[in-house]
Amino acid sequence: MEVVWLSSLAHNHYQETCVICENQKQKGIHLYTSFICTDCEKDLIQTDTHDPKYKYYLKQLKKITTPEIFS
């Protein structure tokens, strides 16, 4: 059985798929079960609500689902 430390994962350039741009990125945030890259996060925050790009961001963010908690 091989043990992989988290620090070695960082050296392997672990990437996740951004829910907005759908590209593989290394850095970003997790929102529920989805990943948003830092580039999209910055663009989303800086985009005016009247900009057509904002509607695209809303459409992509609708893909994020809240995990259900079963008790």
Closest among 18, 53, 19 to 27, alpha carbons compared: 18
Whether this prediction's pTM lies above 0.85 is answered by no
Residue 7 DSSP SS3: helix
pLDDT tens for each residue of the chain, 71 residues long: 455 445 544 555 789 999 999 999 999 999 888 999 999 999 999 999 999 999 999 999 998 876 667 66
Structure tokens that stand for 26 in this block: 């290394």
Handedness of CA 35, 33, 29, 54 (dihedral sign): positive
Residue 11's pLDDT is: 52
Q: Is 47 helix (H, G, I), strand (E, B) or coil?
A: coil
Q: Which runs of consecutive H residues, i.e. helices, occur in 1-71?
A: 6-11, 38-46, 52-61
